[in-house]
Amino acid sequence: MQCRKCGYVMRPFETECPRCARMEAKTCDNCGRQGVVGTCRDCGNAICDACSVRVGEHRYCPVCAPADQAAARSTQVAQVEGERPLPGPGFVRAASLPGYSGLWGQVRRAFVFMRESLTMAFRDKDLILPPLLSVFASTAFLAIALLALKGLGLWEEFFGEEEGWSITRIVGGLLIAFVYYAISYFFSGMTVHLINVHLRGRDAQIGSAFADAAKNVGALLVLAGASAVVSVLTSRGRRRSAGYDVGDFAAGAVQRIWTVIVYLLLPIIMLEDVSFRKAISRGKEIHSHNLVPIAVGEIGIIIVNRAIGFIATLLAIAGVALAYFGVGPAMLIPALILAGFWIALIMAYTNFVRTAYYTCLYLWAVERAAAAEDAAVPRPLAAAMAA
């Protein structure tokens, strides 16, 4: 006789399906409920019916499934069981939108979010590793690129006072910017993956983050190409303007707006596994009603990040000066190396905070699209809203 539920062929003396009995006795690796219906295709974790997200013919857990489909499945469960399960221990129940409370209110919320982000990083050290690798890899590439320009005799072509743009300058600028952004976005994509996994209660692993970023490398490269074009065009606008005028202001504004767009698109690309074009369409859809936290949070994060960067630079300079004049010239090189590591760590942390903010904002926007006012909120974002 064959089990109608799982298809197991039972032996003559078996009155019930042993496979189904084992599955009913197991507990879900995602929420702890008893009774398992299968395993996640990506991570292999056992999942119950409430945590099972169907994508085509395959089953996924809420962490590995595209975020929008995981949120939709959570809403379906709520209609049956009466309450939407939280996406993970890193989420809390509904929170209200923050209003505008002046510049100090924005800065206060940014400080609270940075504190919560630091707490996440201390709980799982792997979270800060991709931003740190990004700083080192990007710096190494720029150093190699500048040395190559010097060796090829193109230094004056790129950094001289001569007005106008040559084919060499445009092509070289696009190539350097493209590789720089490709490195940055790849590691930022890894950070998005790790933050999402951490908030949903799983152990964040560098290997799985790398594999996820590699899976979406096509969309990340298109995003890097678009950023390279924006960077070259805005830098050309600044070259044409003498001093700080309207052209310089406009170029800076375009660059800042595009940076925000990039950070909004990165979580969509990574967590929904979509192309660059679909990510833009999806971004318009889920963020159309979330402009208040985007604007408020972005301003606060920029102010606090720049303040921390300024203070960190002053401390590095003071440390190098103290080592040189207090100990002796022999300590100059070690002091410079330590100062470099210190500044790299601060840069990695501020980049991690910004990536974490937009990842949390995306996860909340997806939850709001599925459950409106009952949407679960990532803890760091909820704490910042309440500040």
Whether 245 shows a pLDDT value over 80: the answer reads no
- Report pLDDT for 10: 66
pLDDT tens sequence across 366-378: 888 777 667 788 8
Whether 194 shows a pLDDT value over 90: the answer reads yes
Positive or negative CA dihedral for 11, 14, 15, 16? negative
What pTM does this model have? 0.80
Mean pLDDT (whole number) for 12-39 = 72
Question: Which of helix, strand or coil describes residue 155?
Answer: helix
Whether 137 shows a pLDDT value over 60: the answer reads yes
Place 189 in a pLDDT band, splitting at 50, 70 and 90. Answer: very high
Mention every residue, 6+ apart, whose C-beta is less than 8 A from residue 209.
Answer: 126, 130, 190, 191, 193, 194, 197
State the DSSP string of 331-378: GHHHHHHHHHHHHHHHHHHHHHHHHHHHHHHHHHHHHHHHHGGG--EE
Residue 376 near residue 80 (C-beta atoms within 8 A): no
Whether 103 shows a pLDDT value over 80: the answer reads no
d(CA 224, CA 218): 10
Mean pLDDT (whole number) for 20-42 = 75
Mean pLDDT (whole number) for 162-170 = 70
Whether 4 shows a pLDDT value over 80: the answer reads no
First to last CA, the chain: 62
Whether 237 shows a pLDDT value over 80: the answer reads no
DSSP 202: S
Of 75-79, 221-225, 355-359, the range with the lowest mean pLDDT is 75-79
Whether 195 shows a pLDDT value over 90: the answer reads yes
- Report pLDDT for 382: 84
Q: What ranges do the domains of the chain cover?
A: 25-92, 102-386
Whether 225 shows a pLDDT value over 70: the answer reads yes
More confident residue, 166 or 137: 137
Average per-residue pLDDT in the chain? 81
- Report pLDDT for 35: 76
Mean pLDDT (whole number) for 148-155 = 80
More confident residue, 5 or 231: 231
Mean pLDDT (whole number) for 201-214 = 89
Q: What are phi and psi of 377, to 5 degrees?
A: -125, 135
State the DSSP string of 47-94: E-TTT-EEETTEEE-TTTS-HHHHHHHHHHHHHHHSSPPPSSTTEES-
328: left (phi over 0), alpha (psi -120 to 50) or beta: left
Whether 130 shows a pLDDT value over 60: the answer reads yes
